[in-house]
Amino acid sequence: MTKTKKIAVIPGDGIGVDVTQEAMKVLENIQKIHDLPLDVRHFDYGAERYLKDGTTMPEDQVEDFRNNYDAIFIGALGDPRVPDMTHARDILLGLRFKLDLFANYRPVKLTDRKLCPLKDKTEVDVDFVVFRENTEGLYVGMGGNFKKGTPDEIATQEDVNTRKGVERIIRYAFEFAQRRNRPKVTMSDKSNALRFGHDLWLRTFEDVGEDYPNIEKQHIYVDALTMQMVKRPEQFEVIVTCNMFGDIVTDLGAQIQGGLGLAASGNINPESTSMFEPVHGSAPKYAGKNVANPLAAILTLGLMLDYLGFSEANALVEKAVVQAISTDNTTRDLGGKLGTKEVGDFICKKITEFAS
Ligand code: NAD
Ligand code: IPM
Ligand code: MN
């Protein structure tokens, strides 16, 4: 019998709460029908808790997640009442760093051509994955201020790139390409301007690439990458890039697959507890209004189930999402008329139908 998988759920802030509720409804529905051995626990970390008692995440929580959980599902973090994002840095970035979730896996896949803003592009043209380095770069929080708040202020923000860190994400991208029969890996940097950090990326890509003679290698500067993602997205299979550029290009990637309401992601450490979250944020203006699109969260749930070894459950989720889109059982952002909850209900209904 498969061992019970333990999942921690952090709905977080804003629409994170709304979309997580739907993803969990879908999970309960799948569990009822397919009897998946899952043990789900909820955690209230987020702005509300932080404002109430000052807790971002208790000291021992990371250890608990690392030792006792197989995966974490997180909705979104970000609240206008906490403008400096202290809680989000501790929770979201804290988990990425402390669990060493070095591979941020962000698939860009168009499910229905009617959602693509690019002229004449179809499902076969927009189908690639981005691996964003997730533990280094400009995100490490090294730097500081001098003469803060004065006209002479100096602010520095260090861009940290280690050979080990760069090598492992590039290797992970090549391994993924090999496993999934993707014929090409594209590495994107800005090594023409950033002659230290990104020269390391370029040299590492050339070195690691030698171990994968059957995979085509492409190097592209990040400014040109954004242009090519719009002009000829069909040329991409697997893109690997640094933390900052990965953040930016995956919002662009989200839009060419139909919008942030459809973009799923996983923060992976193959040897530890991994974390799954939609690419979108907490969209505060939509919070609690039953308008947020829950499909990114539901597809993220699918990624998590796939990662935990329940690939059939993921296939059901994907099939139900494709049907919701093709029949316009969607929220306003995708041109539909349903609310967040009704889309969740539709997905549950389809999954039940598939089983009978
Ligand atoms: P956002 O992704 O929250 O929203 C940008 C816009 O995209 C929204 O105004 C909305 O029009 C659209 N959108 C996003 N998700 C949607 C959905 N599910 N359904 C329908 N429309 C959707 O980005 P933002 O406005 O830049 O950030 C808001 C807050 O979220 C900030 O505090 C930011 O730091 C945070 N944030 C958190 C995460 C995360 O937790 N992973 C990711 C991005 C941003
Ligand atoms: C993302 C988000 C985060 C990031 C923010 C909320 C810190 O934009 O997951 O894409 O920059 O990584
Ligand atoms: Mn982002």
**Predicted local confidence at residue 1, as pLDDT:** 56
Which amino acid appears at position 341 of this protein?
K
* Amino acid symbol at 280: H
Residue 272, phi-psi category: left (phi > 0), alpha (psi -120 to 50), beta (remainder) = beta
User: Does 247 sit in the ligand 2 pocket, CB within 6 Å?
Assistant: yes
Q: Which of 77, 93, 242 to mutate to test the pocket of ligand 2 (most atoms within 8 A of CB)?
A: 93
Pocket test of ligand 1: the residue of 260, 275, 290, 291 to mutate, having most ligand atoms within 8 Å of its CB, is 260
Distance 61 CA to ligand 3 centre (A): 24
- What does the pLDDT read at residue 355? 85
Q: Is the separation of the CB atoms in 72 and 95 below 8 Å?
A: yes
Number of neighbouring beta carbons within 10 Å of residue 278: 32
CA 200 – ligand 1 centroid, Å: 32
189 Cα–ligand 3 center, Å: 18
Q: Chain centroid to CA 250: how far? A: 9
Q: What is the pLDDT along the chain (356 residues), one digit of tens a residue?
A: 578 999 999 999 999 999 999 999 999 999 998 889 999 999 999 999 999 999 999 989 999 999 999 999 999 999 999 999 999 999 999 999 999 999 999 999 999 999 999 999 999 999 999 999 999 999 999 999 999 999 999 999 999 999 999 999 999 999 999 999 999 999 999 999 999 999 999 999 999 999 999 999 999 999 999 999 999 999 999 999 999 999 999 999 999 999 999 999 999 999 999 999 999 999 999 999 999 999 999 999 999 999 999 999 999 999 999 999 999 999 999 999 999 999 999 999 999 999 88
Residues with CB under 5 A from ligand 3 (ion): 247
Residues 77 and 80: their CA atoms lie apart, in Å, by: 10
Q: Which residues of 5-19 are buried (b: 16+ CB within 10 A; e: fewer)?
A: bbbbbbbbbbbbbbb
Tell me how far the alpha carbon of residue 249 is from its chain's centroid. 12
Other beta carbons less than 10 A from residue 87's beta carbon: 26
267 touches 276 (CB < 8 A): yes
pTM of the model: 0.97
- At 30, the amino acid letter reads I
Pairing of strands 127-133, 71-76: unpaired
Residue whose token pair is 């998946």: 36
Residue 108's DSSP bridge partners are 128
CA of 16 to the centre of ligand 3 (A): 14
For ligand 2, the distance from its centroid to the CA atom of residue 349, given in whole angstroms, is 32
Task: Please report the DSSP string for 120-131 in residue order.
Answer: T--TTTSEEEEE
Q: Show the 3-state SS of 5-21.
A: EEEEEEEECCHHHHHHH
- CA–CA separation, 284 and 275 (whole Å): 22
Measured CA to CA, the distance from residue 202 to residue 170 in angstroms comes to 10
How many C-beta neighbours within 10 Å does residue 162 have?
Answer: 12
Nearest CA to ligand 1 atom 1: 281
Q: In residues, how long is the chain?
A: 356
CB-ligand 1 contact for 91 (6 Å cutoff): no
Relative to the CA of 285, which ligand 1 atom is closest? Answer: 9
